[in-house]
Amino acid sequence: METVSENRAFGGVQGVYRHASASTGTDMVFSVFVPPHEAGAKLPVVWYLSGLTCTHANVTEKGEFRALCAELGLIFVAPDTSPRGEGVADDVDGAYDFGLGAGFYVDATEAPFADHYKMWSYVTEELPALIAAAFPADMGRQSIMGHSMGGHGALTIGLTYPERFSAVSAFAPIVAPSQVPWGRKALGGYLGADKAAWRKHDAVALIEDGARVEALLVDQGGADAFLEKELQPDLLRAACEAAGIDLTLNMRAGYDHSYYFISTFMADHLRWHADRLG
């Protein structure tokens, strides 16, 4: 693992790191904030998955999480959103919602994306092993959150591994990708035409098929330009009501899809995670 940068912040260390990924066959960059702690201490881990067009840098630079992570004693990990580099396939038209920056947290099975787009394995297997080995992380206390496409990733991963994640939350998530244009394009392009294969990467479908967590927290901006067409949080509300999942869905009037929205409510999410992480 190569250290790209490390900076002192709120008594802890904000780092950016690069490593050669076996999952993607590329170099991958991620960021980790480690709060101040006593020597030998193991700290709970909050995973943050970013949205379309983003890298680790968006939340690292704009998320305003470090002060509270330092106060609460939380490690904050932010991976990239897709593989990158020479030879990595992209959307043929260079669209922002597929290909580079838009890995959708799935393991692609369709050519040419299957060669590198293994973001599910990277985020759920490879990177956690690296975090456990290289940082003072208590992997028995993990939680996960994300934004937009990353909110989709956080919900689907959290629902798939409820024993691993003590808390699951999202900002403006794509809750039912099988039913919206962003998701249909991504799932069809990465996984093929068999919609049965899409269901394990669709939070609403996972709940319909029996996946359960005790509670979910979602914040959604009421002025989000993508709300009606791509996000549709009411589909998640209906699925959670039918399944008996305690969903807190906060509709935030006047807020959009940006990091101004995310940073405003980041502290609420971190406190909610910390309460459940112990």
- What is the three-class DSSP state of 16? strand
Q: Which of 97, 107, 202, 224 is catalytic?
A: 224
Q: Which of 50, 148, 166, 169 is catalytic?
A: 148
Active site residue 224: yes
Q: Report the 3 state secondary structure along 61-111.
A: HHCCCHHHHHHHCCEEEECCCCCCCCCCCCCCCCCCCCECCECCCCECCCC
Cα–Cα distances in angstroms (integers) from residue 112 to residues 23, 99, 193, 195, in the given order: 15, 10, 15, 19
Shortest CA distance to 53 belongs to which of 126, 107, 104, 108?
104
Q: Which of 56, 152, 201, 257 is catalytic?
A: 257
Cβ within 8 Å of residue 79, ≥6 positions away? 28, 30, 47, 49, 50, 56, 122, 123, 127
Active site residue 257: yes
Active site residues: 148, 224, 257
